A and B are shown apart, each in its own frame.
Chain A
Amino acid sequence: MVNNKINANDHQNHNQMRSRDLVMNPLRLGAMHQTRLSFVRSLVRRMAKQAWQLQLNQWQISTQGFGFAIYKLTTPNQEYHLVVFSDQIDDADRNDRVIAEKWDITFALVIGEVNQRLFEQLKNNVPLQEAGRNSTNVIVLARANKSVRVFEHIVETLSQGKQPDGQILAQVGYILRTTAVYGNGKFGIADFEILQTNPDFNLSFSAQMCAVYILRQFSLDWVHDLAKQRGGDTAIELCPQLQRYLGVGNATGLGMTPYLIKHPKVIDNWLSQRENAISLVSQQLISADKNQQLQQLLRRAQIHLQQVITIDEQQQKLNQIAVKELAQIQLLASKACQQQQRYSQLLQQNEAFSFEAQEAFIACLLECYPDYVDNFEQAMNADEALFMPKGINISTMLDMLKRQYRWAIEIDFNQTNNQYWFWYRSQDKEEPRLGIRGTDVGEDKELALDIGRQVNRFYHELIQQPQQQTLAEFLLQYPKYAAIARRTWTLGHCDMGDIQMNILAKEALPINLLRCKLAIFGATKFDPRSDRWVRVTLFQGAPLFNDIHADEWLFPLLPQAQEQAI
């Protein structure tokens, strides 16, 4: 049992949200899993509820697998098209980092019709990605590389009339992995602002998730077509269970980290809505039927974690511990059910377990209560505005900082290890990177991601000022603190606030931030490839388009294991 026990005061009473100190701990954020509030889940629910239709309009793919395909998506409100380009690249050019310039697959999700003129524009620009220019007809621009091993294995076995080896699929979990999925105005495409009135894609990141979901269908159509080309009448298609088991991979690195720091109200809102849902569910009594469903999901989570294949030894260890602890949690849940307890008591007891197990439990718990949880998806979009307080004095500001930012105030930034790293943007496609302070070049161009340090300096300047002076007067004298004053005051009054992490510290692990965002998206199968980047899958286990329905895909399992879990 890993001891992450925290002070009981951190856990507020059963009709309140859990405290920010508990929730915004980066280690906990780095253990999050998909829940039914994740964006892939809310998208699939909307698709199922509104009976969205997908149709393959054009398939101009050569016998070698290169060319283009166009899918038409029809919703009750609008038509969209996913235009996919498949290009031949050398193995040496297949790079998941943002610095890559060639990809196996590039694609764009377009509003409305794709006429010849638009198609030519897309053909000339989408394969170039960052180097191209696109119009506001395009709402998502993205690229993907294939898992060469899985791709070849599937095509070869299907062409011979055999199903692929499930273990090989389990090692990877996808045919294609995206390396960037751009929305919100990148490279000339439509800003998210104009999607806010679009009833299909008005939820954050839903257009990006939709493009990835259709790409999954392309990846299946692609291997089926090539197997057919290779094997003729002998070829077969993947069995539906394996089709469903395969998702779309995603490789995410340091580049995602600045988003989490620079959009604090978005992150606060995602976590706050999730906590609202947890709070509501935790007030319920543990009924026998819900406990039965919960037990089944917890078993499923155990099998999923056992099946995750990762090269990262630490993650392997965390998964193993969580598998054992989830067994203990099952016993505790049954006991709590017999004693007619509420989930809040169980959540408190679970704090003795690892974050990985606690978070897996939360994902299972929320899964059992769609009526309480799903409504919060409508509140996941955030107003990003930060507000400067009016009419407060320094003493009031200090009180707020002491209450909400103690984690930053108490850091000793005179210790070298507490500001070991600096963040910068590289000349290589402006990729965010880490440098060692005092050693690497670029410190003079450090990015202002050092929220903890800024808060610390702000606090120490404020305590030297007359306490009754107004904050506005102080800022006229010290305008360099205006940004951190706005941020802290705004986030200090949000439910969850800032992520409580000194990103400059030697031991800071940006990968925790990546996992938090990816889990909110709905990623599964977390496979850290280093402490700087992680591979995950999206839509693994999700229903196929022709059988779309809302649930049953938390913690994806290999088909035979799925039968065991039921």
Chain B
Amino acid sequence: MIWVSHNELITVTSKAFDGLRLPCGEAEQIAHMVADLEMVGLHGIEHFLNAVEYLTKANTQACQLTMQTESILEVDLHGDSILCQLPTILTYVAEKLLTQNHLTLKISQCHNRWLAFGELCQLAKQGISIKAYWYNINSPTYIKYILNSGNKLPELYISPIDELALVSSRSLTIEFNNSVFKLPESGEYLQHISSAVLEQQQVSSWQRGIPVQEASWQQLQQISKAILVQDSSQ
């Protein structure tokens, strides 16, 4: 285990993303998406390392949003990571919410859904309530988090699922509302990670540093070196 600072994580992730030389996505913003998740102990680095294989020039193109109904927006990312596209999509959503009270965003065929966390926390701080949910294929689970307006961190709920058919879609649904969401009853999920627990981890990360697996840190640093150039002595 190695202990790294928030600034180190931002710097290295930012360089790693820059090194991918993608046509869209903002390195600093993406680094914050990774760090926001890592700081609360939800493995941002692992998710970013997984994302790298999906972050290719062919994938990261402009996306088409369609209004399914007045309050349902759909977008197909065709197997791309949400990392590059989500900030721009959320800008569009935030604008829509200026004139309507609720909206549902359905993102299909996407990867690295955990990494939406930081951007959604930012939106909640601006006064929008958010409910995000998806089925996870690796350990068949249903994951949901609720960020009510003004919350800094979400209430996170995880339940196992049996119907693998649900998992195959790799979709992410995010509901936005100008009023608050009701929190689920205790019988509706197996595990609840409260915002207080997440905050405790976040405070510890600031004060003591972020504990990171040494192999993951090395891998991240290795990716960040792709941006380096052999000296031409200028």
Q: Which residues of A contact B (CB under 8 A)?
A: 133, 135-136, 184-194, 262, 388, 390-391, 424-428, 430, 433-436, 440-442, 444-445, 447-448, 470, 472-473, 475-480, 482-483, 486
Contact = CB atoms under 8 A, between A and B. Distances in A.
B98 A391 contact: yes
B98 A193 contact: no
B208 A476 contact: no
B5 A476 contact: no
A143 B50 CA distance: 38
A479 B8 contact: no
A186 B7 contact: yes
A186 B8 contact: yes
A435 B26 contact: no
Nearest to A434: B234
B6 A135 contact: no
A427 B28 CA distance: 21
B69 interface: no
B23 to A, nearest CB: 5
Interface string B55-79: 0000000111100000000000000
A195 B85 CA distance: 34
Given A445-B229, A482-B91, A133 B2 contact: yes
Contact of B26 (A133, A194, A477, A483): A483
Interface in B33-90: 62-65, 84-85, 87-89
Contacts of A426: 228-231
15 contacts: A388-B91, A390-B98, A391-B98, A425-B15, A428-B231, A435-B232, A441-B229, A442-B230, A445-B21, A473-B92, A477-B62, A479-B62, A482-B87, A482-B91, A486-B26
Interface string B16-32: 00110101111111000
Contact of B208 (A136, A186, A189, A447): A136
B94 interface: yes
Contacts of A433: 229, 231-232, 234
A475 B88 contact: yes
A472 B231 CA distance: 40
B196 interface: no
A187 B231 contact: no
B209 interface: yes
Looking at B95, B225, B226, the one whose CB has the most chain A CB atoms below 10 A away is: B95
B200 to A, nearest CB: 15
A214 B156 CA distance: 48
A479 B24 contact: yes
B6 A479 contact: no
Query: Considering the complex of A and B, which 9 residue pairs feature the smallest CB-CB distances, nearest first?
Result: A185-B7, A185-B5, A442-B229, A479-B24, A440-B232, A483-B26, A472-B92, A424-B229, A472-B95
Given A433-B231, A480-B24, 20 more contacts: A136-B207, A136-B209, A185-B6, A186-B7, A187-B8, A188-B8, A191-B6, A388-B91, A390-B91, A390-B98, A427-B230, A441-B229, A447-B18, A448-B18, A470-B95, A472-B91, A472-B92, A475-B91, A475-B92, A479-B24
Interface in B216-234: 225-232, 234
B166 interface: no
A388 B8 CA distance: 25
Looking at A193, A434, A479, the one whose CB has the most chain B CB atoms below 10 A away is: A479
Contact of A135 (B62, B98, B209, B234): B209
B111 to A, nearest CB: 17
Contacts of A390: 91, 94-95, 98
A471 B127 CA distance: 21
A523 B65 CA distance: 52
B137 interface: no
A193 B91 contact: no
Contacts of B5: 136, 184-186, 188-191
B45 to A, nearest CB: 16
Contacts of B26: 482-483, 486
Given A186-B8, A191-B206, A482-B26, A425 B231 contact: no
Nearest to B89: A476
A534 B100 CA distance: 56
Contacts of A435: 229, 232, 234
A110 to B, nearest CB: 15
Looking at A185, A391, A441, A445, the one whose CB has the most chain B CB atoms below 10 A away is: A185
Given A479-B24, A479-B62, A427 B231 contact: yes
A444 B227 CA distance: 9
A69 to B, nearest CB: 27
A98 to B, nearest CB: 12
Contacts of B208: 136
Contacts of B15: 425, 430
A219 B4 CA distance: 32
Contact of B8 (A185, A475, A483): A185
A135 B210 CA distance: 11
Nearest to A440: B232
A427 B229 contact: yes
A426 B229 CA distance: 5
B176 to A, nearest CB: 13
Contacts of A442: 229-230, 232
Contacts of B226: 445
Contacts of B234: 433-436, 440
A275 B8 CA distance: 33
B6 to A, nearest CB: 5
Contacts of B29: 483
A194 B206 contact: yes
Contacts of A424: 227-229
A479 B4 contact: no
B232 A476 contact: no
A456 B208 CA distance: 43
A478 B85 CA distance: 11
A164 to B, nearest CB: 38
A189 B3 CA distance: 10
A26 B2 CA distance: 41
Contacts of B228: 424-427, 430, 445
Looking at B5, B64, B92, B206, the one whose CB has the most chain A CB atoms below 10 A away is: B5
Nearest to B7: A185
B98 A188 contact: no
A480 to B, nearest CB: 5
Contacts of A478: 62
A430 B229 CA distance: 9
B33 to A, nearest CB: 14
B232 A445 contact: no
A440 B230 CA distance: 10
Interface string B113-138: 00000000000000000000000000
A262 B62 CA distance: 25
